[in-house]
Structure formats: C-alpha cells, structure tokens
C-alpha cells in the first residue's frame, strides 16, 4: 500500500541488476519466463516419453497374457500341434525381448529417478515449511501449486510403474488359464518353461535401493 512492496517474481532467482525497478523487473521476468518455459519443456518431454513407454510395457504384458491364454485355442476350437508349438515359442520370444528392453529402459530411467526422489523428498519438506511461514497469500498459493505438481509428477511415475509390476505378476497366470488340461502331457514341459519365463518380474526402480511403486510413493510422503 505504501509502495515499498517488491514485485511478484515468476521464479525466485538472482540477477545482476535491481529487480525492484520497472525496467529491471521486466528484464528479470522475461529471463525467468524463458528459463521456466525451456526447463518445463525439457521436463515435460522426458516425462511424456517415459510414461508412454511404461504404458506400452503394461499393454504388451496384458496382450501377452491374452495370447498365452489362447495357445491351445478354445475347448470348441482346439488348434493343431504345430500351431500350438508356434504360439508357445512366440510367447516365449516376446517375453524375452520384453524383459530385455525393460531392463535397458530401467538402466536409463533408474539413475534419474533416484536423483528425483531425493530432490522430491527435500522439496516436500522445504515447500511444506515455506507454506506455513509465508504471509503473502499469492506467494502461498504459488508455493502450494508447486508442491502439488511436484507430488503429482512423482505419483504418476510410481502409478505407471506399479501398473507394469502388477501386469507382470499376473502374466504367469496366462498359460494356466489356457485349456492345457485338455491337451496331451507332451505340452507340459513346454508350458512349464513358458511359465518359468513369465515368472521374471518387470519393474522399474529408482537406483539400487527401491522400486517405483505406489507403496514407495506413500513412504516418501510419510518420510517427508
């Protein structure tokens, strides 16, 4: 009210000029807006690609379970021996490739998520404390918004990774949901090998310490 309040900043940052003049404030706002849009664009691109890949893995696991259920066809339309063997081999090959590329993706994602989890844990503590001591309503609103989006970003990673984990766990039920009981015992060894391959869990991690799951997300919130 008396003209001594500082201008509201886009991002709290240091610049080598006075931000309390209209010229300095305008220059700082342009610089901060560019940096925020540029950084946000990179983060959004990375998050989008990572989450789309996670959704792809989950969908592929669910499709693989459906295909493994239909290895021998149905009770009313059973397939021939050659077709059943071809389907067994195809399901095994697809899962081997899926595990291979999931591990490759996890090797790229895991170090970044380890750093992000550490930063997010610190950010939750600091931001929550800042909200309690902040007196300006607008600044409190912006800080709360930043906190919500930070939590939401981590939750989305944990949620999609959790979906992949459950789809991978349920995959082993696929061969046993087929009509294996109506077929000859010569298929049981191949079916057992396929089930053993499906028993390899696909899950993404945050470094060597923890997995990206909803339980991990809840533990981070509790710890923060």
pLDDT tops 50 at residue 83: yes
Q: Which residue's entry shows tokens 């049981």?
A: 188
**pLDDT > 90: what percent of the chain?**
22
Q: Which of 52-56, 71-75, 112-116 has the lowest mean pLDDT?
A: 71-75
Q: Does the model's pTM come out above 0.75?
A: yes
pLDDT digits 0-9 by tens, 191-212: 888 888 898 889 898 888 888 8
């Amino acid at each position: 009210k008396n003209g001594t309040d500082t201008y509201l900043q886009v991002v709290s940052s240091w610049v080598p000029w006075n931000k309390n003049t209209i010229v300095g404030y305008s220059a700082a706002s342009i610089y901060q807006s560019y940096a925020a849009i540029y950084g946000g664009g990179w983060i959004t691109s990375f998050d989008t690609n990572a989450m789309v890949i996670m959704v792809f893995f989950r969908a592929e696991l669910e499709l693989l379970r459906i295909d493994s259920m239909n290895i021998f066809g149905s009770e009313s339309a059973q397939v021939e021996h050659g077709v059943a063997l071809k389907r067994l081999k195809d399901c095994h090959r697809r899962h081997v490739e899926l595990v291979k590329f999931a591990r490759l993706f996890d090797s790229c994602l895991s170090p970044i998520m380890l750093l992000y989890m550490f930063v997010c844990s610190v950010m939750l503590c600091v931001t929550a404390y800042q909200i309690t001591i902040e007196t300006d309503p607008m600044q409190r609103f912006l800080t709360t918004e930043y906190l919500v989006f930070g939590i939401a970003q981590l939750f989305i990673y944990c949620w999609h990774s959790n979906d992949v984990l459950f789809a991978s766990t349920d995959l082993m039920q696929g061969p046993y949901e087929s009509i294996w009981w109506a077929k000859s015992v010569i298929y049981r060894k191949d079916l057992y090998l396929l089930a053993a391959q499906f028993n390899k869990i696909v899950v993404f991690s945050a470094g060597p310490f923890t997995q990206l799951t909803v339980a991990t997300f809840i533990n981070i919130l509790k710890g923060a």
